[in-house]
Amino acid sequence: MGPGALSKSAEQPLSLTILGIVTALYAEARCLTRQPIGTGELVQLPGGVLVKVSGVGAKRADLAAEALLRKGAGALMSWGCAGGLISNLSPGSLVLPKVVIGADKSVYHTDEVWQKRLCSRLRGQFDLHEEPLAEGTVVLTRSTEKATLFQKTGAIAVDMESAAVAAAAKGAGVPFIAVRAVADSVDITIPQSALTFADEFGRLNRSMLVRGLIKHPMDSFTLVRLGRSFRAAEKTLAKVARLAGGNLLSLAANGEQA
């Protein structure tokens, strides 16, 4: 990962050699690397990229971001899946927001030049959106909950980690960007039982899954749909990583498109 992500106020590339990526789930991290990742580990990828699997939620994401900063990260990225809040976002849609809105109504701007360059590289390859991303404090399981958050914030998608990573980046004075693929569309109602089948890192507990389906057999239809939707999001993230190559941090030098 070479030097060169720009802040909004800079006209020349900054000497940033380490990109820190926070992702909540192991499945999301596997879209970046097949390298084994142990619980609590920081994984270094070629080019000085550091990846930290935080687990779900703002507190865990903040701890992961701070750990990356202590290891010398000069830019932070929030990477992973999101829930769609509007009808024209389908599973696999890519959200590269210009703004992230915190649950406390804080507004965080992603790095302007970095975001534009990544959009330029990826536009035409995905159903790509740049509208705001909102923070959710819990998993939104119903369409009505998603519609309410859209009405309150104007955001088109929601996740639970990006605002915390953005706040850590702002506090450290380093560039920030969010890369999120939609894993559940606004019309999907997530069964409450589905929230107990995996741990905070997304690791499936098969025995709990079987017990849950015995109690709620009709949930199986929604779970199959959710599985397909998540795979569509994974496919998008893997393609983003492939198209950006080793250049997620700096897609261009001295203002020239890569």
Cα–Cα distance between 78 and 56 in angstroms, integer?
A: 12
pLDDT tens digits along 5-61: 333 333 334 444 689 999 999 999 999 988 888 777 888 887 778 999 999 999 999
Whether the pLDDT of residue 2 is over 70: the answer is no
pLDDT at 8: 37
pLDDT tens digits along 169-193: 999 999 999 999 999 999 888 777 6
Look at residue 143 and tell me if it is in a domain. yes
pLDDT at 191: 73
pLDDT at 41: 80
Cα–Cα distance between 175 and 14 in angstroms, integer?
A: 10
Look at residue 5 and tell me if it is in a domain. no
Look at residue 14 and tell me if it is in a domain. no
pLDDT tens digits along 127-136: 999 999 999 9
The DSSP H or E segment spanning 121 is: helix 112-122
| Averaged pLDDT, 198-211 | 69
Tell me if 58 sits within 8 A of 22, measured CB to CB: no
- Give the residue numbers spanning the domain of 225: 19-253
Tell me if 44 sits within 8 A of 19, measured CB to CB: no
> Angle CA(37)–CA(40)–CA(41) in degrees, nearest 5?
45
Look at residue 116 and tell me if it is in a domain. yes
Instruction: Supply the mean pLDDT for the chain.
Output: 84
pLDDT tens digits along 80-109: 999 999 999 999 999 999 999 999 999 999
Cα–Cα distance between 59 and 4 in angstroms, integer?
A: 29
Cα–Cα distance between 22 and 42 in angstroms, integer?
A: 10
User: DSSP letter string over 180-245?
Assistant: EEEEE-TTPPPPGGGGGSB-TT--B-HHHHHHHHHH-TTHHHHHHHHHHHHHHHHHHHHHHHHHHT
Cα–Cα distance between 59 and 67 in angstroms, integer?
A: 12
pLDDT at 223: 74
pLDDT at 90: 95
The whole-model pTM stands at: 0.85
pLDDT at 228: 92
Cα–Cα distance between 102 and 162 in angstroms, integer?
A: 9
Indicate which CATH number applies to the domain containing 193.
3.40.50.1580
Look at residue 123 and tell me if it is in a domain. yes
pLDDT at 190: 78
Q: How confident is the model at residue 256 (pLDDT cuts 50, 70, 90)?
A: very low
Number of domains in the chain: 1
Look at residue 56 and tell me if it is in a domain. yes
Look at residue 190 and tell me if it is in a domain. yes
pLDDT at 38: 76
Centroid of chain to Cα 220 = 26
Centroid of chain to Cα 98 = 14
Residues with Cβ within 8 Å of 70's Cβ and at least 6 positions away in sequence, in order, are none
Look at residue 9 and tell me if it is in a domain. no
| Higher-confidence position of 14 and 220 | 220
